[in-house]
Structure 1
């Protein structure tokens, strides 16, 4: 078999194999575990680099495995899948560095990093899924591999949060599976094809297709945290900071949002979905979630809880972009898939640094932290300003394209949603930055909590947020660069609309 046939499978296996080996390592085998983690992350990045070069050269990458008559496991790379594959692989690399430092001296590290690697394998499998059944399989594997990560600490709060997460996501998985089976019975094997494959079905089946659409969106909406299916996300914040970063920026919520994009564009086709009257309903649901998540974030005193409700809001920008009928809205939603990942992981890295180094968990305890941890706070500031949509951070690019996409689609009301959301973003992020930079630190701050040495915290905790913050800034400053994320999203949008 050629490299084009093997490469998608190798990208999945490059994290799955190290993860399975890590399970059998003893806790004291730190060097071997670190080597396996970093080797797997590095190999995956190299393989993804080959994939991107091949896609640009119009090569076709596809791995197939027959599961049963009429049922195939298909891994297929296209321009859309590359977005999530590259994001997952790149952020897995920096999150692995962060997790190694964060969990230094903690128990059950082999179990943690084993599931950590399998989680990323499932995410990459979702991105590379070439048909709906393959997507469903990896979607369920993601649920099973993230549950132990949420429950990792083993405290009553962690166990409760993990059980809530599992209950929500298993129900979502059942809904997704039911929709996938119904659709396969109705239309045969469902491959992901640019501009969809369902418009050719007889008109008498359109009513069933509408029902199936909402069944699929409900299943995906659990992981995408669409209201009212978002209840698991704040509860999962009991997990360690690297897991929170993984859930919000790389894996779970991105899997749900990416799935919604796949259903709209590559199962139904955006023009057929618009003709069935499905996009307006999805846009309204996404808009409600955007505002609701922002309002709830404003009411949270816990830093991670505030960031969790921010995710509820921000991830729905991706669904809103998919629902804005037109290429500009599509570009805004797709580019936000990458931008939100970089900005949100930066924020969770920063929150983790505050908690691990100074024991800060609440907004009220951030006073003066910028003086004690200036580099972490600088990265946190870039992430927060990007979420608000302030240029030149990448979040501005997302909101700009969503705004002009709404206008071009004749959905002027979506501009109001974006404006209200941005004001609420400012209302719950700017007070954090004000406290961190401009308030005096409390006199009772214990001296033993002040980091010693040249750096404000361990290098393995400090370098990752600086890298991701720099990338979020660079993607805003150099958004128009050829072969950049924005240009890649323009290419996807043009293909989906036949331009």
Structure 2
């Protein structure tokens, strides 16, 4: 199969699961089998595409032209391939987890859940391979609309309110800011196609370019840069598999992916370095990292604490893009991977705790390691990755981000990143430590008869993602090579 055909299959494959999901809506085993089979096929496809991409980086597909300059087209490039590998891997794992969670928690409307999930993953793949800003915008909006029913899945007043906040913030930012940024780019550069070194020539006005950069950063609301972050904590009313989708697989990663792609392929790091507004936006993202970490420390609800942690961690990737250095781009791309596997592990654990122990507040989880040892060990491993400690993948991304701050001589940003990592320790590590130690600091003995973990599909999924955070510490080569190639492109070389 050619690279071009395989890339199209990757975008379309998730949609092919929908007829089977709807057909077997009264036969849960068959319905979920369809999701798992298509998820496995998608994973095989993205791995095969990655292997072809390493050899030949020329895949390009043009679907149609709506009007001159507005095309739906796709092209393979390192960041998109990296993102497709992450999303393709985690859709299958999240689907396994969802089977245990949705059944164990007795969730209604499971057919709608799996259907919308499939549409969302297809949108992610289209966005990952977008050849231009117009294609990216189309799939960006499809992703927003397809995940809204997932956020409001419970159907309660609280869920509907969370869904309204989710939809209003994301649509408002994309229509008022992102759309205008795209139109402005088209008017100034006369193209929307992602280009090595950026689309603007030397004659572009620094003021106009600066305004467009501000519109892009705040218009890509899925990146949750403060003050446009409220949708993320509000969306925590959704079932935990949806929270995992929002935080690790699709939505927020689509946001920071888009910011990184715009910075590298629309502006280019040379132009970013020449714009005074870049530093201002960098400090906004830095403040977002610090403030969200402080808010996370005050949350007793586990999912809310993890939500604000995500706002903070997304700031790391935005910082990597705005540092406008090769090390920053490399660190930002790697943090997409590290945060995805680390944070999805933490959300899987939060859902497992709710299903098995019916606990949502951190203050109620002391001694939980006695009954849920596997879950709490996985939580500990996921925490290490978010903090950036070995042997977890988060160490590599944070290392290169710090190198990026040194390269850019942004000492204040470097200090904030280090403080934020200390705050990560303060709001994450006490959770598993208290679970395994009682009030007298003695180890909790574990009696096999007392162990009550979540249903095995959920337990299997969180074990897989926890193990992968360790695997990517020791063998990060595949993702590192893609991120390094992206950094080389950003630096104006062919890597």
**TM-score tier after normalising by the smaller chain length:** over 0.9
1:488 to 467, 482, 489: 482
Contact 1:4 1:59 in 2 (8 A): no
In the alignment, the residues of structure 2 paired with residue 21 and residue 180 of structure 1 have an alpha-carbon distance, to the nearest angstrom, of: 37
1:457 to 454, 457, 473: 454
In the alignment, the residues of structure 1 paired with residue 405 and residue 188 of structure 2 have an alpha-carbon distance, to the nearest angstrom, of: 33
Who is 1:325 aligned against?
324
Residue 475, structure 1, aligned to residue 472, structure 2:
yes
Residue 194, structure 1, aligned to residue 191, structure 2:
no
Q: CA deviation at 1:286?
A: 1.2
2:183 to 174, 181, 184: 181
Q: CA deviation at 1:95?
A: 0.1
Who is 1:447 aligned against?
none
Residue 89, structure 1, aligned to residue 91, structure 2:
no
Who is 1:211 aligned against?
211
Deviations 1:21-42, CA, capped at 9 Å, x for gaps: 42x3354221321121012111
Who is 1:223 aligned against?
222
Name the SS for the 2:62 alignment partner. Answer: strand
Q: CA deviation at 1:67?
A: 3.3
Name the SS for the 2:200 alignment partner. Answer: coil
Deviations 1:362-393, CA, capped at 9 Å, x for gaps: 00011111111111111100011221222221
Contact 1:301 1:363 in 2 (8 A): yes
Q: CA deviation at 1:187?
A: 1.9
Name the SS for the 2:65 alignment partner. Answer: strand
In the alignment, the residues of structure 1 paired with residue 416 and residue 306 of structure 2 have an alpha-carbon distance, to the nearest angstrom, of: 20
Contact 2:317 2:335 in 1 (8 A): yes
Q: What are the equivalent positions in structure 2 for 1:131-210 lying under 5 Å apart?
A: 131-174=132-175, 175-200=177-202, 202-203=203-204, 205-210=205-210
Who is 2:373 aligned against?
374
Q: What are the equivalent positions in structure 2 for 1:279-318 lying under 5 Å apart?
A: 279-318=278-317
Q: CA deviation at 1:291?
A: 0.1
Who is 1:262 aligned against?
261
In the alignment, the residues of structure 1 paired with residue 450 and residue 14 of structure 2 have an alpha-carbon distance, to the nearest angstrom, of: 34
1:51 to 45, 49, 52: 49
Deviations 1:308-332, CA, capped at 9 Å, x for gaps: 0000001111011112232112211
Contact 1:101 1:461 in 2 (8 A): yes
Contact 2:293 2:309 in 1 (8 A): yes
1:28 to 26, 29, 44: 26
Q: What are the equivalent positions in structure 2 for 1:123-138 lying under 5 Å apart?
A: 123-138=124-139
2:491 to 485, 489, 497: 497
Deviations 1:404-434, CA, capped at 9 Å, x for gaps: 2211221122221111101111111122122
Superposed CA RMSD in Å reads 1.9
Q: CA deviation at 1:452?
A: 7.7
Who is 2:6 aligned against?
7
Who is 1:445 aligned against?
none
Who is 1:103 aligned against?
102
Contact 1:282 1:319 in 2 (8 A): no
Name the SS for the 2:469 alignment partner. Answer: helix
2:36 to 29, 38, 42: 38
Contact 2:377 2:432 in 1 (8 A): no
Using the size of structure 1 for normalisation, the TM-score is 0.93
Name the SS for the 1:74 alignment partner. Answer: strand
Which runs of 5 or more structure 1 residues have no equivalent in the other structure? 442-449
Q: CA deviation at 1:454?
A: 8.4
Name the SS for the 2:74 alignment partner. Answer: strand
Name the SS for the 2:429 alignment partner. Answer: helix
Label 1:400 to 1:109 Cα distance change in 2 as closer, same or farther (>3 A).
same
Q: CA deviation at 1:453?
A: 10
Name the SS for the 2:410 alignment partner. Answer: coil
Label 1:26 to 1:381 Cα distance change in 2 as closer, same or farther (>3 A).
same
Contact 2:100 2:454 in 1 (8 A): no
Contact 1:241 1:348 in 2 (8 A): yes
Q: CA deviation at 1:91?
A: 0.5
Paired residues, number = 483
Contact 2:57 2:77 in 1 (8 A): no
